[in-house]
Amino acid sequence: MPDNQGDKFASIIGSEQAEPTNIVIFGASGDLSKRKLLPALAHMHRWNLLGPHSRIIGSVRENWTKSHWINYVHDQLLQYFPDAVLNPPSWKRISHKLDLVNGDLTDPEMYQQLAKILHAENGKKNALFYLAIPPAWYECVAKNLSEAGLVDESEGFRRIVIEKPFGMDLSSAQNLNQNLQQYFDESQIYRIDHYLGKEAVQNLMVFRFANSVLEPLWNRNYIDHVQISVAESLGIGYRAGYYENSGALKDMIQSHLLQVLSLVAMEPPVSLGADDVRNEKLKVLKAVRTITPKDVDKIAVRAQYTAGTAAGIDLPAYRDEKGVADDSTTETFAAVKFYVDNWRWQGVPFLLRTGKALPERVSEICIRFKAPPQTLFDLHDSNVRNNELIFRLQPDEGMLLSMTAKQPGLSTDLRGVQLDASYGIAGSEIPEAYETLFHDVLLGEAGLFSRADEVEESWRIIEPIMKNWSEKKDISTYPAGSIDVPGLDDLIADCEGKWRDISTKKHEY
């Protein structure tokens, strides 16, 4: 298939083709690279979104030859995006783009090799450096790139992409930012938060700012509270090394869920320019009420899974997972009630919850509206609740508006109905978050990436909870496959309604 038969797809994620770019992946033989980055690049190649003469340059520690690297990419794509290699002409074109440097990240010689590869080309020498490596190496790579003259933009753009965690607390995040900014300008640094690449998250902005019907309702007068839920059915798998020092609060709430909160709560930006959007998100984060030590136990709940069966898979207790300490108090579930102290949101709770080993994998934003001011109908025993607007991030990306209607018949029985705008129903092909984000980095569009000050503000918000939890010697538990977390319902007790049932039975309401 020709690489440009992607009109339908290209029209979804933007058909603009990127300028030719040398895409350098540090940690190219690692997990992120094989599962996400290589398939995303192959997808983009297929839809003609990578500029001609772009190259994908793997940087690996192993002493591989270029042909070994090409075979490796072939094998990974066969597993994660088979279409890319099962079509011989397409694979041939991808394989011609592959190049390799090997060596240790600390070795200046490797960066000289890289400089040679970048300079071996005529024309523009744009370069994107993707750091798919542990954060402890970020500064070392940035410094070496700078010393090898690879950060200078006189011959083309230079951009660096990093993955979370961006620090493990406020001061380490500040250090990381300062260290990177010694070598790269903030405008060259792209901090990936893959939740911002998710279709439904982006649609939230479109939905809010391209429709006039919502704006009058989008405030404390009509909205009772907001729930943001990210439930995963898997346990921590092989990631104990990272997770033991992180936990659900730092792993998910500090980054993805607070980013989503800021998109729900932000004021309309003056333009879609990256800094206009990020300035508005930052204002929200700054307005999140500072949590005092005495409030932590009232607004935050944590727990850890014990053995059970989640989505049909038997899971051991977290403490029995490989690499986890027998007396670990790391939380695998966290829920927090935040308030945004500004004119629009005063008094509206934002309830965030996330966890592993829960019954299903479901992520959604629920805007729950207030009940009508007067109850004319007998709601007793009926299956009717407050209106809700749901943005389903996964699975079944889309939006649902739940309303109340009359049950057909002679009596005035009420029932819940849903206006369902599922993306699946619209028949669209949904790009994977990494494709959207890669595309944006290549085009220099930074709106979906976290800026240094947003990251630091998010740490400011959660630090009092981190401190409180780090001082506790025990932790509540929930059986894997359930969401029976002690204290969870108390967080929502002063709101209208309960926690939404995060099940994929989307018509249940």
What residues are annotated to the active site?
256
State the virtual CA torsion across 368, 370, 372, 373 in degrees, nearest 10. Answer: 180
The burial class, CB within 10 Å (0-12 / 13-18 / 19+), for 26 is: buried
Binding status of residue 331 toward ligand BG6 by CB under 6 A? no
3 or 232: CB nearest ligand BG6: 232
| Contacts (CB under 6 A) with ligand BG6, residues 12-41 | none
Closest CB 315 distance from ligand BG6, rounded Å: 14
125 or 194: CB nearest ligand BG6: 194
Closest CB 482 distance from ligand BG6, rounded Å: 19
145 or 461: CB nearest ligand BG6: 461
Beta bridge partners of 161: 130, 190
Closest CB 328 distance from ligand BG6, rounded Å: 16
Give the other-Cβ count within 10 Å of 431's Cβ.
24
Closest CB 388 distance from ligand BG6, rounded Å: 21
The secondary element (H helix, E strand) that includes residue 192 is strand 189-192
Taken as a whole, the chain contains a residue count of 509
Distances (CA, A) of 6 to 10, 11, 459, 465: 6, 8, 41, 47
Question: Is the previous residue joined to 349 through a cis bond, with omega within 30 degrees of 0?
Answer: no
**Cβ–Cβ < 8 Å for 17, 48:** yes
159 or 356: CB nearest ligand BG6: 356
459, 465, 167: which is closest to 302 by C-alpha? 465
x/- string (CB under 6 A) for ligand BG6, residues 181-210?
Answer: -------------x----------------
Give the other-Cβ count within 10 Å of 12's Cβ.
17
Closest CB 35 distance from ligand BG6, rounded Å: 11
52 φ/ψ angles, rounded to the nearest 5 degrees:
-60, 150
The burial class, CB within 10 Å (0-12 / 13-18 / 19+), for 36 is: buried
Q: How far apart are CA 312 and CA 308, in angstroms?
A: 10
The alpha carbon dihedral of 282, 287, 290, 295 has a sign of: negative
Q: How far apart are CA 58 and CA 41, in angstroms?
A: 12
**Cβ–Cβ < 8 Å for 8, 47:** no
**Cβ–Cβ < 8 Å for 308, 481:** yes
238 or 424: CB nearest ligand BG6: 238
73 or 437: CB nearest ligand BG6: 437
Closest CB 459 distance from ligand BG6, rounded Å: 16
Query: Following DSSP, what letter does each residue of 346-361 receive, concatenated?
Result: TT-EEEEEEESS-SS-
x/- string (CB under 6 A) for ligand BG6, residues 63-92?
Answer: ------------------------------
**Cβ–Cβ < 8 Å for 47, 18:** no
Binding status of residue 232 toward ligand BG6 by CB under 6 A? yes
| Contacts (CB under 6 A) with ligand BG6, residues 250-269 | 251
Q: How far apart are CA 51 and CA 349, in angstroms?
A: 46
Closest CB 229 distance from ligand BG6, rounded Å: 11
| Contacts (CB under 6 A) with ligand BG6, residues 356-415 | 363
Give the other-Cβ count within 10 Å of 134's Cβ.
13
44 or 192: CB nearest ligand BG6: 192
Closest CB 194 distance from ligand BG6, rounded Å: 6
Count of residues in contact with ligand BG6, rule CB under 6 A? 4
43 or 143: CB nearest ligand BG6: 43
Binding status of residue 454 toward ligand BG6 by CB under 6 A? no
Closest CB 478 distance from ligand BG6, rounded Å: 17
Q: How far apart are CA 230 and CA 92, in angstroms?
A: 39
| Contacts (CB under 6 A) with ligand BG6, residues 205-224 | none
Q: How far apart are CA 23 and CA 304, in angstroms?
A: 40
The alpha carbon dihedral of 394, 395, 396, 400 has a sign of: negative
Closest CB 9 distance from ligand BG6, rounded Å: 20
232 or 321: CB nearest ligand BG6: 232
Name the residue whose CB lies closest to ligand BG6: 251
Task: Give SS3 for 70.
Answer: helix
Q: What distance separates the 2 farthest-apart alpha carbons in the chain? A: 83
17 or 363: CB nearest ligand BG6: 363
**What are the residues binding ligand BG6 (CB under 6 A)?**
194, 232, 251, 363
